[in-house]
Protein backbone atom coordinates (compact mmCIF):
# COMPACT_ATOMS: atom_id res chain seq x y z
CA UNK A 1 0.00 0.00 0.00
CA UNK A 2 2.76 2.43 0.90
CA UNK A 3 4.59 1.95 -2.42
CA UNK A 4 1.38 2.35 -4.43
CA UNK A 5 0.67 5.62 -2.65
CA UNK A 6 4.23 6.86 -3.05
CA UNK A 7 4.34 6.07 -6.77
CA UNK A 8 0.87 7.49 -7.30
CA UNK A 9 1.82 10.81 -5.74
CA UNK A 10 4.85 10.96 -8.04
CA UNK A 11 2.68 10.22 -11.10
CA UNK A 12 0.32 13.04 -10.17
CA UNK A 13 3.22 15.42 -9.59
CA UNK A 14 2.35 15.85 -5.93
CA UNK A 15 5.31 14.18 -4.24
CA UNK A 16 7.23 17.43 -3.74
CA UNK A 17 4.18 19.27 -2.41
CA UNK A 18 3.11 16.94 0.39
CA UNK A 19 4.48 15.91 3.77
CA UNK A 20 7.40 13.47 3.38
CA UNK A 21 5.79 11.12 5.88
CA UNK A 22 2.43 11.21 4.09
CA UNK A 23 2.78 7.79 2.39
CA UNK A 24 3.56 6.16 5.75
CA UNK A 25 0.66 7.90 7.51
CA UNK A 26 -1.79 7.17 4.70
CA UNK A 27 -0.76 3.52 4.82
CA UNK A 28 -1.34 3.38 8.58
CA UNK A 29 -4.72 5.05 8.08
CA UNK A 30 -5.62 2.55 5.34
CA UNK A 31 -4.67 -0.44 7.48
CA UNK A 32 -6.74 0.92 10.37
CA UNK A 33 -9.64 1.35 7.94
CA UNK A 34 -9.45 -2.26 6.77
CA UNK A 35 -9.17 -3.53 10.35
CA UNK A 36 -12.17 -1.52 11.55
CA UNK A 37 -14.14 -2.41 8.44
CA UNK A 38 -14.29 -5.99 9.69
CA UNK A 39 -16.66 -4.87 12.47
CA UNK A 40 -18.10 -1.60 11.09
CA UNK A 41 -19.26 -0.80 7.58
CA UNK A 42 -16.85 1.99 6.62
CA UNK A 43 -16.12 1.08 3.00
CA UNK A 44 -17.12 -1.41 0.32
CA UNK A 45 -13.47 -1.52 -0.78
CA UNK A 46 -11.78 -4.39 1.05
CA UNK A 47 -8.40 -4.92 -0.62
CA UNK A 48 -5.35 -2.96 0.51
CA UNK A 49 -4.21 -2.08 -3.03
CA UNK A 50 -7.70 -0.78 -3.88
CA UNK A 51 -7.84 1.29 -0.69
CA UNK A 52 -4.52 2.86 -1.69
CA UNK A 53 -5.73 3.76 -5.17
CA UNK A 54 -9.50 4.28 -4.91
CA UNK A 55 -9.47 6.11 -1.58
CA UNK A 56 -6.04 7.58 -0.83
CA UNK A 57 -4.91 8.56 -4.32
CA UNK A 58 -8.41 9.53 -5.44
CA UNK A 59 -8.65 12.03 -2.57
CA UNK A 60 -5.03 13.17 -2.98
CA UNK A 61 -5.85 14.27 -6.52
CA UNK A 62 -7.78 17.25 -5.12
CA UNK A 63 -4.45 18.89 -4.33
CA UNK A 64 -4.06 19.49 -8.05
CA UNK A 65 -7.05 21.83 -8.32
CA UNK A 66 -6.17 24.55 -5.78
CA UNK A 67 -3.85 25.56 -2.94
CA UNK A 68 -4.71 23.92 0.39
CA UNK A 69 -1.74 25.12 2.46
CA UNK A 70 -2.74 27.10 5.54
CA UNK A 71 -6.43 27.03 4.62
CA UNK A 72 -9.42 26.15 6.78
CA UNK A 73 -11.39 23.19 5.39
CA UNK A 74 -14.72 21.56 6.24
CA UNK A 75 -15.44 18.05 4.95
CA UNK A 76 -19.22 17.56 4.80
CA UNK A 77 -20.45 13.99 5.22
CA UNK A 78 -16.90 12.82 5.80
CA UNK A 79 -17.82 9.16 6.38
CA UNK A 80 -14.55 7.29 6.88
CA UNK A 81 -12.62 10.56 6.48
CA UNK A 82 -12.63 11.03 2.73
CA UNK A 83 -11.35 13.36 1.49
CA UNK A 84 -10.74 15.48 4.63
CA UNK A 85 -8.44 13.13 6.53
CA UNK A 86 -6.34 12.37 3.46
CA UNK A 87 -5.93 16.07 2.68
CA UNK A 88 -4.87 16.79 6.27
CA UNK A 89 -2.24 14.05 6.21
CA UNK A 90 -0.88 15.33 2.92
CA UNK A 91 -0.96 19.02 3.94
CA UNK A 92 -0.18 19.38 7.68
CA UNK A 93 -0.78 23.17 7.65
CA UNK A 94 -4.41 22.61 6.65
CA UNK A 95 -6.95 23.16 9.45
CA UNK A 96 -9.64 20.48 9.05
CA UNK A 97 -13.12 19.89 10.46
CA UNK A 98 -14.72 16.53 9.70
CA UNK A 99 -18.55 16.71 9.84
CA UNK A 100 -20.76 13.63 9.90
CA UNK A 101 -24.14 12.60 11.27
CA UNK A 102 -22.95 9.20 12.58
CA UNK A 103 -21.05 9.35 15.86
CA UNK A 104 -19.59 5.84 15.51
CA UNK A 105 -17.66 6.87 12.42
CA UNK A 106 -16.41 10.02 14.12
CA UNK A 107 -15.27 8.10 17.20
CA UNK A 108 -13.15 5.90 14.96
CA UNK A 109 -11.75 8.95 13.16
CA UNK A 110 -10.80 10.38 16.56
CA UNK A 111 -8.77 7.19 17.11
CA UNK A 112 -6.98 7.69 13.78
CA UNK A 113 -6.23 11.32 14.66
CA UNK A 114 -4.76 10.22 17.98
CA UNK A 115 -2.66 7.38 16.51
CA UNK A 116 -1.20 9.66 13.83
CA UNK A 117 -0.79 12.53 16.34
CA UNK A 118 -2.44 14.98 13.96
CA UNK A 119 -2.91 18.59 15.06
CA UNK A 120 -5.55 21.15 14.04
CA UNK A 121 -8.11 18.57 12.99
CA UNK A 122 -11.38 17.77 14.75
CA UNK A 123 -14.60 15.82 14.30
CA UNK A 124 -18.06 17.34 14.65
CA UNK A 125 -21.23 15.32 15.08
CA UNK A 126 -24.20 16.92 13.36
CA UNK A 127 -26.32 17.29 10.27
CA UNK A 128 -25.02 19.60 7.56
CA UNK A 129 -28.27 21.52 7.16
CA UNK A 130 -28.39 22.23 10.91
CA UNK A 131 -24.77 23.14 11.66
CA UNK A 132 -24.79 25.65 8.78
CA UNK A 133 -26.98 27.95 10.86
CA UNK A 134 -24.40 28.19 13.66
CA UNK A 135 -22.19 31.28 13.78
CA UNK A 136 -18.98 29.30 14.23
CA UNK A 137 -19.64 27.43 11.01
CA UNK A 138 -21.58 29.61 8.60
CA UNK A 139 -19.31 31.15 5.95
CA UNK A 140 -16.22 30.38 8.01
CA UNK A 141 -14.29 28.04 5.70
CA UNK A 142 -11.90 28.65 2.81
CA UNK A 143 -12.67 25.23 1.35
CA UNK A 144 -15.61 22.87 1.75
CA UNK A 145 -15.31 19.37 0.32
CA UNK A 146 -17.80 16.59 -0.22
CA UNK A 147 -17.45 13.09 -1.61
CA UNK A 148 -21.07 12.29 -0.82
CA UNK A 149 -23.17 10.49 -3.41
CA UNK A 150 -25.89 13.10 -3.82
CA UNK A 151 -27.28 15.33 -6.53
CA UNK A 152 -25.14 18.45 -6.94
CA UNK A 153 -28.13 20.74 -6.30
CA UNK A 154 -28.55 19.08 -2.90
CA UNK A 155 -24.83 19.23 -2.15
CA UNK A 156 -24.69 22.92 -3.02
CA UNK A 157 -27.43 23.80 -0.55
CA UNK A 158 -25.73 21.74 2.15
CA UNK A 159 -22.18 22.96 1.50
CA UNK A 160 -22.15 26.50 0.09
CA UNK A 161 -23.52 28.14 3.28
CA UNK A 162 -20.26 27.11 5.00
CA UNK A 163 -17.96 28.66 2.38
CA UNK A 164 -16.68 32.18 3.04
CA UNK A 165 -16.85 34.70 0.22
CA UNK A 166 -13.76 34.12 -1.89
CA UNK A 167 -13.55 30.46 -0.91
CA UNK A 168 -14.45 27.33 -2.86
CA UNK A 169 -16.70 24.29 -2.65
CA UNK A 170 -15.11 21.15 -4.12
CA UNK A 171 -17.49 18.30 -4.97
CA UNK A 172 -16.01 14.96 -6.04
CA UNK A 173 -17.96 13.59 -9.00
CA UNK A 174 -17.59 11.34 -12.03
CA UNK A 175 -16.59 12.71 -15.43
CA UNK A 176 -20.11 11.80 -16.55
CA UNK A 177 -21.63 14.48 -14.32
CA UNK A 178 -21.86 17.25 -16.93
CA UNK A 179 -25.66 17.14 -17.16
CA UNK A 180 -25.97 17.16 -13.36
CA UNK A 181 -23.55 20.08 -13.12
CA UNK A 182 -25.43 22.07 -15.75
CA UNK A 183 -28.70 21.47 -13.88
CA UNK A 184 -27.17 22.89 -10.70
CA UNK A 185 -26.47 26.29 -12.23
CA UNK A 186 -29.57 27.92 -10.74
CA UNK A 187 -28.85 26.55 -7.26
CA UNK A 188 -25.26 27.76 -7.43
CA UNK A 189 -26.39 31.27 -8.34
CA UNK A 190 -29.10 31.46 -5.66
CA UNK A 191 -26.66 30.31 -2.98
CA UNK A 192 -24.02 32.90 -3.83
CA UNK A 193 -21.67 30.88 -5.99
CA UNK A 194 -20.38 30.66 -9.52
CA UNK A 195 -19.03 27.68 -11.41
CA UNK A 196 -15.30 27.46 -12.09
CA UNK A 197 -13.76 25.12 -14.69
CA UNK A 198 -13.97 21.53 -13.49
CA UNK A 199 -10.80 19.64 -12.63
CA UNK A 200 -10.54 16.19 -14.24
CA UNK A 201 -7.94 13.60 -13.30
CA UNK A 202 -7.10 9.91 -13.69
CA UNK A 203 -6.37 7.84 -10.59
CA UNK A 204 -2.88 6.37 -11.08
CA UNK A 205 -2.83 2.66 -11.81
CA UNK A 206 -6.54 2.42 -12.58
CA UNK A 207 -7.47 4.26 -15.78
CA UNK A 208 -10.46 5.62 -13.82
CA UNK A 209 -11.24 9.28 -14.54
CA UNK A 210 -12.92 11.45 -11.92
CA UNK A 211 -13.88 15.12 -11.69
CA UNK A 212 -13.83 17.84 -9.05
CA UNK A 213 -16.69 20.29 -9.54
CA UNK A 214 -15.35 23.66 -8.34
CA UNK A 215 -17.66 26.45 -7.16
CA UNK A 216 -16.39 29.84 -6.03
CA UNK A 217 -18.33 31.75 -3.38
CA UNK A 218 -18.87 35.30 -4.68
CA UNK A 219 -21.70 36.51 -2.38
CA UNK A 220 -23.15 35.55 1.02
CA UNK A 221 -25.73 32.77 1.02
CA UNK A 222 -29.24 34.07 1.81
CA UNK A 223 -30.15 33.38 5.46
CA UNK A 224 -33.07 31.08 4.59
CA UNK A 225 -30.68 28.47 3.21
CA UNK A 226 -30.15 25.64 3.84
CA UNK A 227 -33.74 24.53 4.30
CA UNK A 228 -34.80 21.41 6.19
CA UNK A 229 -33.37 18.31 4.52
CA UNK A 230 -36.83 16.97 3.65
CA UNK A 231 -37.43 20.18 1.66
CA UNK A 232 -34.00 20.10 0.03
CA UNK A 233 -34.52 16.54 -1.14
CA UNK A 234 -38.13 17.01 -2.23
CA UNK A 235 -37.62 20.30 -4.06
CA UNK A 236 -33.96 20.89 -5.03
CA UNK A 237 -33.19 24.45 -6.08
Confidence class of residue 183 from pLDDT cuts 50, 70 and 90? very high
| pLDDT, tens digit, 9 for 90 and up, residues 194-230 | 999 999 999 999 999 999 999 999 999 999 999 999 9
Average pLDDT estimate for 15-35 = 95
pTM, two decimal places: 0.96
Statement: residue 34 has pLDDT above 90: yes
One-letter-per-residue 3-state SS of the chain: CHHHHHHHHHHCCCCCCCCCCHHHHHHHHHHHHHHHHCCCCCCCCCCHHHHHHHHHHHHHHHHHCCCCCCCEEEEECCCCCCCHHHHHHHCCCCEEEEEECCHHHHHHHHHHHHHCCCCCEEEEECCHHHHCCCCCCCCCEEEEEECCCCCHHHHHHHHHHHEEEEEEEEEEEECCCHHHHHHCHHHHHHCCEEECCCEEEECCCCCCEEEEEEEEECCCCCCCCCCCHHHHHHCCC
Q: What is the pLDDT of residue 189?
A: 98
What average pLDDT does this structure show over 94-109? 97
Residue 149 has pLDDT above 90, yes or no: no
pLDDT at residue 135 in the model: 84
Amino acid sequence: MREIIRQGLIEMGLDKRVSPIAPEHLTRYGLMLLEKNAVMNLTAIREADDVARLHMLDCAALLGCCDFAGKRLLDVGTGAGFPGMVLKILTPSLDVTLLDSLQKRLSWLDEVIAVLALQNIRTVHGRAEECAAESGFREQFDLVTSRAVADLRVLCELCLPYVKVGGQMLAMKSTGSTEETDAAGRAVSILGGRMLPAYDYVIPGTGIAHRVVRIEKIAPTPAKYPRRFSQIKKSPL
